[in-house]
Every structure is written in structure tokens, then in C-alpha cells.
Structure 1
């Protein structure tokens, strides 16, 4: 594709975008008509919300919102109506429950951290390193008093009408009661070894199956679950319990027949499989039921005592055209690299499960050592608060007038194995509550120590006058777990943010933001993830070296894929600590709407089946530590903006680029028009130039356009690098 063809293709995409807008308008009209009909149905004296909801394809709560007098009915589930499919807590996001609005309240003004040294006790904290300016004055800040109630400056725009309101901690004793451990729930070192599962690898596009040293080609027909299981178990023993799909995505085979990709996946998983049934229960260390995901679903079936699950290898890494034998070799190399650090390592079904299992085997076990009795799990209220107020990676696309219409070029800088840099310290134990009054009563040193420690703060934020760069702190917007990053001068909003982000807002090298502390959670600093992360980092380094030096090109590729799997173990393992509320998913035949559980949300309807899901709250997971995930995500977001490379005496990140040159931020990557001469040593957290697309080019307006430019930029840079070799 040349520049002219690319421009023409962009025009075609914009045409599709306009068509989508028209369809959405039509959809809005249909939804309005549906709501009108729901209200009419609600006038019937025997109408019930749980009967109307599945017929209308909405939740019971949506019906009640339209027809309040129906009210929520009692739960109808029980022993005679079990959920058809159990959705395990895995690597993916979960919907959230309704939250309590943040009330207007006075705050305590945070000190100017640019006028203070890093606390000696916390000098090893990565968050302090992340936010370091180029120079640090050695004067101590003046202490704040309770009289400084944080009232915004005159003429400041205050955003109190946020589209999505975040929860707050109740005042007084009710809120203080949240700050406790969950009784009987502690993370402890396991006293057993996981049992390995035999696995096979299948490319459903070519029919190639690899099991150990055996390679065969199968006739899969239309690649339904029934056809796959029949063909595979004609060649491999019944002891194979895990089948990884390396290519072909058979769950998308009927995507054209469904309005949404999720519906196609659900239909594929729930299709009848003669002789098999959806797995309902196994040993306590095993998950059961299907997991419906648009691109990485998990299907679990059983036949008598035989069990098998079908998974996408994309959970571990992008195979990028690798054949099943190469994927098998990657798993072998992965196991060997991990076995060097964990003698009892077992590769489990997903990187999240593997990561959490390996972490439990690093929990201190020596009698008398700190946390030898285990890490306590916080109260369900605090966990719920963190789930609602702690975002993950920053995803932001900047468009005109914040960037030019025409970009001179587009460069992609990506942080290598970024999360491994942020695991050296984390909060441990039950947090201490720090209210606005308690913060104002602290000495200047105590305030500084609190803002450098692992913490999570409810704050009122004011963007400073003259601010011209990207925003620093997240603000909630409409949408499930959606955030924006305000940067308009004198704009004020209320939010929750990690200590690392608050630290950066107060210490950045441009100018400090006004931060008013409303409430906060403050943890003791510990190292619960350090040993785990260090071992994974060493395994990653060994595989990276093998990928560069092995004489066999196939083994080099396999080692590279294995190193990506190690990254996934750490990345998704950290996500696994978040342990979001459990979701139960099931299906009910059309015509039996009364069998849909109360409170369930309809997520798909075809001519024969209603698919639903229901939030069933938190499970009693002894390894639920959202405080670690939320803190680490906050540190990573802060480092995306500013990070100090001490050995090179240079600061890097989006805030160290000229204003108006940042086009997009995506978790670990910066897209910019400015060529940055940042050092790269291949260490975790270093910025690698991953793509370069010369201009002038029209800047992206949508995520799809950005990803298209990303692919072109990576291809162009690869061509440049090949030409210079």
C-alpha cells in the first residue's frame, strides 16, 4: 500500500464511520420505541419485571428504572435452578456495581513536594523515582494547617457533575469499620504441588495437530466443537486435558450470522456436543464452565471422568504465524526457564493462573519471618472501593486542536516489560485511613512520607494556570471503567488516584498541580511481589538472550514467544490480584424467559437461546489483593508521563516531549511527532522506538485509524532497519 492508496482507504473508513453513526441513530430510535413498549407492558396489573426483561433484552434493573412500581423481585434462584455456566475470575475486566456519589467536602491542601527531598525511609520506592524532577531543592515545605481547607481559587471551573460518579468512604465509624481484614482469608504458601495437564496444539485453519512429538493433519469439517473433539481424540489419548488453538479462531466461524462477536462465540461454545456436556464441577483447584470472550474464550467439557478445555494460545502471546510445533517448542522453553527458578513449576491454563500460583510459592514460609503467617485480605468494602476507583492502563487519543491536523511524522515509543519495573515495593497489611482532617494535622514530614508511601487518595484536583501539556490525573467519565485526563487550566474535578500519580502531579518539572486531600488509604511499605517479579525478570532475560543467540532460527522464534509468555505471566498475574466480582453466565431457551435469574443482564439473544450474565459478588479468594494491582497500575501510568533514568541522568516520558506533540498514549506506549533521543538498554521500563511513519500524514481520529498507522509505522521502521544492516 502506498500513500495514495492509504489516503483513499482512510476515506473509505470514514464512510463506514458515517454509516455506523446512521445505524446508531436508528438504534437509538428503536431503543426509544422499546422503552415505550416496556412502559405499556408495565401498566398490566400482573406484569413482572423478571418476565419483561429477557423479552426486551435488558436487565431487570433497566425495566424497574422505566416502570418503578414493578420494583425488584426476590431472588428466584435456588437448588432447582443452578447457573448453567460458571464464569471464573480470570484475566479480563468485569462490570461494576452501582457506586455511592462523592459528596462535596472540605479538603487539606497537599504540600509542594518539589521543595522536599525523597524521604530517606522510602528512598528505594520506585514511585519516587518515577516522579523525580531534574533538580530537587533541599528546603523543607511549610506545614499545612487545618485552616487551609482547599477552597478552589476564584474563577476556577469546578466539575461536580461528573458523568460517572465514584464511591467515597462513609464518614465516621461506618467508614472506619471498612479498614479491617476479611476473617479467615489469608494468602499463604501452598503445601501441595499443582498437577500438570497434558496439552496439544491445533491450527484449525490448516488442521495441523501437534501432541508431543506427533504431528498429524485432521479433517475438522466446519470446525465446530463436536467436530474438533471427535477428530482430536481420534489421534491423542483421553489424558490430554488442554487443547490450545494456535490459529483459525473457530469460535468466529458464524460471526456473519450474529450482530455481535460475543454472540457468535457464545453460540459456538454452547452448541450441542454429542457425548459431551459443559463441565460443571471439578476439584477445588480447577475451574469449571465456559468463559465467553470475544477473542480469547475458554470452553470446558466433560465426558464421564474425562475433562478437556479448549483455549486460545493468544492468552499467552501472539503466535504471529508460528505453526503448532513452534508454539509447542515455545511452551517447552517457557517451562524450562521457569523451572530454573521454581522447581515445582506447572504451566496452568492461563498466564494469570500460572502467575498467581508461582507467586504463592514465594510467600515467606520461615517461622518468625515477616508475613510468614500470610498476607491478610482486606475487607470486601475496601476491595470494592479499589475496583471502582482504580483504573488500569491509560488509553487516550488526542485530536485537533490539541495536535495539528497534519502530522509531520508519527513515532511509537514502547516501554519494554514495563510492569516488571514497578514491583519492588507494595502496600501490605490493612491500610490506615487518612481523612482530610488527619492529613491537615500531620507535620510536613509526615505528609511527605504519606505521599511517598503506597497509598490511594480521594482528592480534589485543580489544573494549574498556563498548563499546556497532557493531563496527569484520571477523571471518571461515562462508560464501564472509563477515564479521561483533564488538562484545561483551572479546571477542577474530584477523583481517586494512586500515590505515585499524586506525587507526579505535585513534583512534575513543569509546574505543580493543586491537590486537596479528601480521604485516603495508607499502607505499610513491603515487598510482597519483589521475589516473584525478580525470578520472572531473570527468566525473561534468559529467553531474550536465547532469542538473539540461538543458532536455529526456529528456536530463536520459539524463545521470543516464550519471553512474551513470561511478560503475560507477570502482566496478567498482577491483574489476577484485582479479583473482580464474580460473574455467572448462562443460557435459557427462548420462550422460557421466566427461567432467567432475577437481576441477570441479557447479553445475547438469537432465535433459540437467551444468553445472560449475573454479578454474584466476590468469591472468597485468599489471593485477592487489588491494592497491589491498583498501586502498580498507577505507578505505570505515572511512569508513562515521567520517569528518571538515573544511570543516564535523563528524564523520559510524555511530559518530557514538547507540548502538542503527543498524539496518543496506550498503556505502555507513546505516539508522538517528536523524535526523542532517549537511551535504550533493553531493561524493564526503557522506551524502545518501535515504529516510525514519515509524513505529512492525517492524524488519527479513532482507535482503528491509530492502529492502522501503528502497523504502517512498524513496517516502515523494520524496512529502514533491514536496509541499514
Structure 2
């Protein structure tokens, strides 16, 4: 194609004429583009009517994204009609708790959907019924299936994402007026407690009476958005609460409609042009399962946490943000040294790490592995586990180590690699005389499992600390591929400050009394959440961002699913990529691997391998249940060390997770 050389006019008048012609040409081009875009959308909607239609293929052919394909109204309506049809047929089939007598015979797609749903009938807990895609996902986890084959490195680019780094960068935060309230209208703000004349549990009822300066409202006790005995799912309760009519002048912002811990955002525009934003959340956002019901305790806990954070992280401009994760990320960014950068891995390598790295180890040993009647049960918990495991993490450029390179290296170099910072794809064989728990994780039919059958060979991805334990115990481990990094200390300063805050608040809870002791204990748990949730955030690839919009036009273009509620508002979902500065799954995967290794063998001979198999009842992330009193203690509350948290007995051996959790809760209550 030949590009016509443009000649600039020689006079002012000629230049103005050229600008007018260019303006008209642009208008014609924009009109043509609008017409072609409308025609493209019609073709997309038409393509979606065919049985073989696939969103990704249509998007590629149209030169757009799958999100845009799903956003087109006829396509979205077809999806909603399919979901509604599936729900109706599911109710007829009697698999969603309906009392309707199922028809004698279902045919076609309805029969296939009913058959799938029947396989998950009886799964405990509230059933969500938002759409066909979610049925398929649920079926994946509930129906019997073979183990998932974990990928190797293959063609994954083992490199960094050029131009993307974590560095010392943050925004000076302004103070936010926080109030804590109970559903009955008791509220505490700026240290003063009073009663609000709230009429009902709706957002509108609270916004009408909320003091003018409140920017964040934190509920304690029973969540106001859940209606007792409503017969609805928790998700439906939250959706109804968020989408209910609002007082004059108020509009909905971008809510986070989580079924248990939603965050609601509202905005008010005054007649004078002023704007006011209010965020509403529950204390469970900070401390899941918190039993605090007194708003005074919660308010003083936020105050203690804020003062402690400001003391350790820089005073003015440091504030408690909307969640433990965002607060922790902001605080970490402030501790990165000047002129220090931590490169992000390539998107493909990040995804490989996430895919091949589980988190905690959850395993229940039932009879005959343990006696049907346990003489006693002892609950051991790893104190502030992740805080004790965030030292020395992988930094810099990743280096791939192939099987050939590993085998040809000297044993000293091999040990250096394994003991360093890395992720390893291995083929492991359980020794023929093995009589203890499994040591390495692999993908199983129902999630992560830990093979221990003598002679079994399997492939796995594991951290160096896990592989080192297996090698020391006589397992045969063949390195198939791996990635290593240099060791750095990206989180040490941040970790030390958070741990210091946690210790100070814990000490305050021991020395204070009454309200202030409760508040300090709660604030210590909130500080713990900051570290735990931030480490988890490094592993995140983003999540389905949910929201509620008052009109269809307000649905973001990135939404891939939208449904209209009975009130006329729209609920939608869109993919969300977390801020790129905090995408470090290589760090979280290293911490997770160390925790699984710590369960097996830790400092001073503490760990599951120090007791017989018959004494191990369960592993639960950073805790274990044993039938023996091992004497493990952690009197000075050192992070990463085990302590006995409770004991009871004799008891029947638990045979389900529900029974195990009931025993755990009983031991914690007893302690």
C-alpha cells in the first residue's frame, strides 16, 4: 500500500480550509465506523443463534473480546432465557428443593440438565441458581471425575514481564470517618455511642439516618442484609438489599455483592453540587467469623489498629483502607526501599504457578487409619503461620532448570537448587516400606491429595522445602523441570512491622480490662488478617468483579454476564485483573509450600512425622489434630511455631469435615 505524501498548506487561509476538510472526513469516517459497528453487533447476535456458536470464536472473527460478545443485548437475553429455562426444569425435576411433582419424562436439553443437577442433589448448604455456566462449574466439583493432569512448563516463557515491576509507590490517604453499628440502630462514631432511629434493615433506612460525616459504616452482629427464614439464598438476600430503592439524591456505586461479606457503596449529590460517598461493610470483612456484637468494641479496635499502623508506617497519610488486602498492599508499598524494584513474572509463568500451587493441606484420616474411639484429641495450631514463613523469597529473573541440566549437575549444585527458591515439576515414588502420611501434593479426583501407598508413582509440583523432606525420608524424586530464583527479602520489613503491631495489640489485650481488652484482641486479629490476606492477594489473578447497576446502560462494557432483578436493577459480573504491582504468585506459592512442609517437619523436631500415623487425625492448613499430647508449646507466641490450642476426649473419630469442625470448635471453646 502506497502512503500519499501530505503537503502542508503555505498560507493561513489554506491551512484553515484543510482543517475543515479533514474535520468533515473524520465525521464521515466516524459515521461509517458507527454503521459498521452496529452491523457487526447484529451479525454477532445472529451468530449466537446457531447451535454450534462459541463466544470465543465469534469474538475472534469479529475482532472484539468475548466480554463484548456477551454484552450485546440479544446474546445476553438468550443466556438469561437459557438459565431461566434450566431453573424451571430443575425445579420440575425436583432437584432444587421444589415440591412440584416431576414429570414422568424430560426430553432434550431439559433432560440433560436435570440429569446433571440430579448428580449434585443433596449437597449441603444453600444452592445458588444464577445460570447454566454455574451449574457446569458446580458439576465439575460435585460429580465424580478423574484427577486433573497438571501441566509442565512446556512452552511457557520463563521470563519476567518487561516494564512491570513492584516499587516504592503509594498514594497519600486522607482520614475517613468510620462508624460501627449494630442492626438494632446502636452506633458509635468518634468515640460517642448513641441510638439511631433506623426503620428497618434496608440500605435506604440506614442512609436516611446516617450522620452526615460518616464515610464508612461497619456492622457487627447479624448482617443486616440477611433476612432470617426468608427461604432465599444468601446471594439473593444480598442482591435484594443492594438493589432496593434509595432515598432521594442517593445512587448506587460499584458494590461488591459477596454472599457473606458484601461491600456496598453509595453516593449522594446535594443541590449545591456537593458529593458524599458512603461505604457499608461487615466486620467479617476483616475478621471472618467474628462474634463481636458490641459496636463500641469494633470502633475502638479500628481506632487502635489505625494508631498502631500510623506509628509503624509513617504517620500522616497512612490510613486503614477498605479491606485487609488493600490496606496490607498499601503498607507494603511504603516499605519497599528507594531505587528497589521487584519484576513481575510473565503472565504465562504467573498462571502456571497459580495452576500448580495449592494452598493449605486439608486431609482427614478416618478409621481404620485411626481408632474408631479416640482416647483423646489434641488441637495444635501454628501461631500466625504465614508471618513466620515470609523470610527470604524468590526475586529477580527466573531461571529454568531442565531435567538434563539437573541430572548433569554436581550433587552440591543440586542441593543448592532444591534448598533455594524454586518450583519443581517432579515424578515421585513412595518407598515400598512407607507407613506414614504422604509428603508431596498431587492433583486428585476431589482436589489436592497426598499419595502414601507404598510403590505408587505420581507426578507433582512442589516447593524445594517439600522435596527436601521427601528426599531426606528416602523417597525417589525425579526432577522433570523447574524454575529457580535468587533469594531476596521483599516482605521482611513489612512483615516485621505488622508482627510488631500484632504483638503490641496482643499484649494490650492481656494487660487491659473490659471493653479495651476486647477491642485490643479484635485489633490484633485485624492486624493478622492484613498479613494473611495480603499474602493471599499476591496469588490472585483477579476475580469475577460483581456489581449492581440501576440501568442497563450503566453496565460496564467488560461485563460478561448480566441479569435484571425484579426491582429493575441489573446485576453483572466482569473479569478483574488485580493491580499488576501486586501480582507475585511466586511469593505466595513459596509461603504455601513452606507451610505444608512445616506441618510435616519443623524446628526442634516438631511436626507430623514425629508421631506415628495412627496418632494423626487431620491436617487443616496450618493446624493438625492428634491423639497424643506431644508437649509442643509456644509460650512466647513465636510466629510459625506450633502450640496446643485445645484438647478433649475420649471422643468418636470424626468421619466428615462437619464432625471435625464441630470438635475443633468445642476444643477452642473449652480453651
Q: Which band: TM-score by shorter chain?
A: 0.7 to 0.9
Which residue of the partner structure matches residue 315 of structure 1?
Answer: 285
Deviation at 1:347, TM superposition (A): 1.0
Secondary structure at 1:537 match in 2: helix
Deviation at 1:588, TM superposition (A): 8.8
Secondary structure at 1:445 match in 2: helix
Q: Is 1:466 equivalent to 2:444 in the alignment?
A: no
Q: Is 1:535 equivalent to 2:489 in the alignment?
A: no
Which residue of the partner structure matches residue 133 of structure 1?
Answer: none
- Flag the 1:354–1:255 CA change in 2: closer, same or farther, 3 A: farther
Specify which of 637, 651, 664 is matched with residue 710 of structure 1: 664
Which residue of the partner structure matches residue 209 of structure 1?
Answer: 187
Specify which of 691, 699, 712 is matched with residue 646 of structure 2: 691
Matches of 1:621 and 1:598, distance apart in 2: 18
Alignment of structure 1 residues 227-306 onto 2, 5 Å:
227-232=205-210, 236-237=211-212, 239-253=213-227, 256-258=230-232, 260-274=233-247, 275-279=249-253, 289-304=254-269, 305-306=275-276
Deviation at 1:267, TM superposition (A): 2.8
User: Residue by residue, what CA displacement relative to the aligned partner does 1:248-294 show, whole Å, maximum 9, x if unpaired?
Assistant: 21122266332x32332233223332332221xxxxxxxxx222323
Matches of 1:604 and 1:379, distance apart in 2: 38
- CA contact 2:560–2:574 (8 Å) conserved in 1: yes
Specify which of 442, 450, 454 is matched with residue 485 of structure 1: 450
Which residue of the partner structure matches residue 500 of structure 1?
Answer: 465
Matches of 2:386 and 2:76, distance apart in 1: 44
Deviation at 1:678, TM superposition (A): 1.2
Count, aligned residues: 541
Matches of 1:598 and 1:211, distance apart in 2: 38
Matches of 2:565 and 2:405, distance apart in 1: 53
User: Residue by residue, what CA displacement relative to the aligned partner does 1:32-88 show, whole Å, maximum 9, x if unpaired?
Assistant: xxxxxxxxx97699999765533233999xxxxx99xxxxxxxxxxxxxxxxxxxxx
Which residue of the partner structure matches residue 143 of structure 1?
Answer: none
Deviation at 1:392, TM superposition (A): 1.4
Which structure shows the higher helix fraction? 2
- CA contact 1:165–1:476 (8 Å) conserved in 2: yes
Which residue of the partner structure matches residue 387 of structure 2?
Answer: 420
Matches of 1:347 and 1:588, distance apart in 2: 27
Alignment of structure 1 residues 235-634 onto 2, 5 Å:
236-237=211-212, 239-253=213-227, 256-258=230-232, 260-274=233-247, 275-279=249-253, 289-304=254-269, 305-317=275-287, 319-344=290-315, 345-365=318-338, 372-478=339-445, 482-507=447-472, 511-550=473-512, 552-586=513-547, 600=560, 611-615=571-575, 618-634=577-593
Matches of 2:667 and 2:459, distance apart in 1: 38
RMSD over aligned CA atoms reads 3.3
Secondary structure at 1:388 match in 2: helix
Specify which of 174, 177, 182 is matched with residue 195 of structure 1: 174
Deviation at 1:313, TM superposition (A): 1.2
- Flag the 1:256–1:541 CA change in 2: closer, same or farther, 3 A: same
Q: Is 1:667 equivalent to 2:621 in the alignment?
A: yes
- CA contact 2:363–2:618 (8 Å) conserved in 1: yes
Matches of 1:55 and 1:456, distance apart in 2: 45
- CA contact 2:159–2:346 (8 Å) conserved in 1: yes
Specify which of 160, 164, 171 is matched with residue 181 of structure 1: 160
- Flag the 1:659–1:43 CA change in 2: closer, same or farther, 3 A: closer
Secondary structure at 1:488 match in 2: coil
Matches of 1:323 and 1:193, distance apart in 2: 31
Deviation at 1:184, TM superposition (A): 2.5
- CA contact 2:550–2:569 (8 Å) conserved in 1: yes
Deviation at 1:497, TM superposition (A): 1.4
Matches of 2:586 and 2:608, distance apart in 1: 26
Matches of 1:197 and 1:604, distance apart in 2: 34
Matches of 2:572 and 2:668, distance apart in 1: 40
- Flag the 1:661–1:210 CA change in 2: closer, same or farther, 3 A: same
Which residue of the partner structure matches residue 148 of structure 2?
Answer: 164
- Where structure 1 has 5 or more consecutive residues not aligned to the other structure, the ranges are 1-40, 61-65, 68-94, 99-160, 280-288, 366-371, 645-649, 719-725
- Flag the 1:674–1:513 CA change in 2: closer, same or farther, 3 A: same
- CA contact 2:182–2:293 (8 Å) conserved in 1: no
Return 161-170 or 194-203, whichever deviates more.
161-170
TM-score, normalised with respect to structure 2: 0.74
Secondary structure at 1:660 match in 2: helix
Which residue of the partner structure matches residue 599 of structure 2?
Answer: 640
Deviation at 1:677, TM superposition (A): 1.0
Specify which of 203, 222, 236 is matched with residue 225 of structure 1: 203
Secondary structure at 1:434 match in 2: strand
Matches of 1:700 and 1:430, distance apart in 2: 47
- Flag the 1:338–1:608 CA change in 2: closer, same or farther, 3 A: closer
- Flag the 1:57–1:467 CA change in 2: closer, same or farther, 3 A: farther
Matches of 2:368 and 2:448, distance apart in 1: 20
- CA contact 1:642–1:653 (8 Å) conserved in 2: yes
- Flag the 1:257–1:271 CA change in 2: closer, same or farther, 3 A: farther
Matches of 1:598 and 1:526, distance apart in 2: 37
User: Residue by residue, what CA displacement relative to the aligned partner does 1:394-436 show, whole Å, maximum 9, x if unpaired?
Assistant: 2222222222222222211111111111111100012111121
Secondary structure at 1:272 match in 2: coil
Matches of 1:589 and 1:699, distance apart in 2: 52
User: Residue by residue, what CA displacement relative to the aligned partner does 1:635-674 show, whole Å, maximum 9, x if unpaired?
Assistant: 1111122101xxxxx3112222221221111111111111
Matches of 2:564 and 2:406, distance apart in 1: 49
Matches of 1:615 and 1:293, distance apart in 2: 15
Larger relative contact order (Cα-Cα within 8 Å, sequence gap ≥ 6): 1
Specify which of 58, 80, 83 is matched with residue 54 of structure 1: 80
Deviation at 1:611, TM superposition (A): 4.7
User: Residue by residue, what CA displacement relative to the aligned partner does 1:481-540 show, whole Å, maximum 9, x if unpaired?
Assistant: x31222222222222112221122222xxx322211111110100111111111111112
